[in-house]
Amino acid sequence: MSEKQIYLDNTATNPVAAEVLSSMLPYFAEAYGNPQSMHDWGDGPREGVDAARQQVAALIGAQANEIIFTSSGTESNNFAIKGLAMAQQAKGKHIVVSAIEHFSVLHSVKTLQKLGFEATEVPVNSSGMVSPIDVKEAIRPDTVLVSVMLANGEVGTIQPIRDIAAIVKEAGIIMHTDAVAAAGNIAINVVDLGVEAMSIAANQFYGPKGAAALYLKKGTRIIPLLDGGIQEGGRRAGTENVPAIVGMGVAAELAEADIDGRAKRLSALRDRLIKGLASKIDHMILTGDASDRLPHHASFCVEFIEGESMLMLLSSKGVAASSGSACTSKALKASHVLTAMGLPPEIAAGSLVFTIGRDVTGDDIDYVIDTLPPIVERLRQMSPLYAKYLKDKGGK
């Protein structure tokens, strides 16, 4: 293992903040009761969950009774897509999503298609941006749900959700947005955005894995995925993961308190990384929108080589990064996000994603800028694609 250790894979997960961990510990062994219990042992855990609900709601400008705790962003997305569509099926069975949604959205839609629903995938442009006009044109009289992510964790592009939601609202349709990559990283207000449902996850803003939430606007009907208990207002059965929920609440409070300052600092580091690598590596494409992107996110496609090889060599130098999304980086196939953006599979295979954490320094960024170019050069020397490129270039 390298002496240098730089973690730039924060879209996959964050480390748990020290304040978050300390807030969770009492609920493992001291305040261990069930929040649903009527005796004294249930009081502390119930109060902890209630406080967390307030804290998470404040992060996104919601009311506490509009927060439903879940186990992950994937569960929140499954709950939203399946539950909202099923609740509205008397009005219609058509769903609109973007082509670059997380698989927890796209696969949920496929499940509904097996049950008789129809779906339209809206395309994106070369920077991964969804056009509100395309969404409007995809809406049909029987459309009951539109889901477009707030920001893409693979290329960092932030979508014009406010404009899209206004179109969806005018049509009298429910709007969901997957904000897992965005919540805690950029300022969010669900009222301003105009959405009825939003998915978020604690491990994207220094909270624990296994804690997430679905915002559901008051009065919006949804069919539960899990049956069997009265937890979460009867909408999500199962004994609450109290330590994780409490930790999510504290993480949300910390994120809200520092969100603008952290975004400003991280965007400066992001731009430093993008500029530095672009000056040293040729045939490298910045993926995602150049300006409307997450403040901590830098993503590229490096031509003639594969992302997995770069990841392994970066790891040997003490740098953690990713290639594609956390759910597809081991799939050894082209990212559906990058191909939807029009990149050919051979270029998409060279995907490299850096997501910068709050403890990363300018020196860390400079280390990556110095470390990656020799890795790229080494891999290209072994690449038949690069050899062919040089041969074709020399023959012209």
For the annotated catalytic residues, the residue numbers are 327
282-288 CB contacts, 8 Å cutoff, 24+ apart: 284/376, 285/343, 285/347, 287/128, 287/154, 287/155, 287/338, 287/341, 287/343, 287/351, 288/127, 288/128, 288/152, 288/155, 288/156, 288/157
Provide the token pair at 3. 């002496």
Calculated CA dihedral for residues 249, 7, 321, 56, nearest 10 degrees: 10
Helix (H, G, I), strand (E, B) or coil at 276: helix
Closest CA to 352 of 289, 300, 277: 300
Q: For the chain, where are the E strands, in sequence order? A: 6-7, 67-70, 94-98, 118-122, 143-147, 174-178, 197-201, 212-216, 284-286, 297-302, 319-320, 351-355
Half-sphere exposure of 255 (CA within 13 A, CB side): 32
Put the strands of the sheet holding 94-98 in their side by side order: 67-70, 212-216, 197-201, 174-178, 143-147, 94-98, 118-122
Angle at 343 between CA 396 and CA 367, to 5 degrees: 85
Burial zone of 166 (CB within 10 Å; 0-12 exposed, 13-18 middle, 19+ buried): middle
State which H helix or E strand residue 35 sits in.
Answer: none
Half-sphere exposure of 245 (CA within 13 A, CB side): 25
Q: For 86-146, what is the HEC assignment?
A: HHCCCCCCEEEEECCCCHHHHHHHHHHHHCCCEEEEECECCCCCECHHHHHHHCCCCEEEE
Distance between CA atoms of residues 1 and 199, nearest Å = 36
Cβ atoms within 10 Å of 59's Cβ, excluding its own: 27
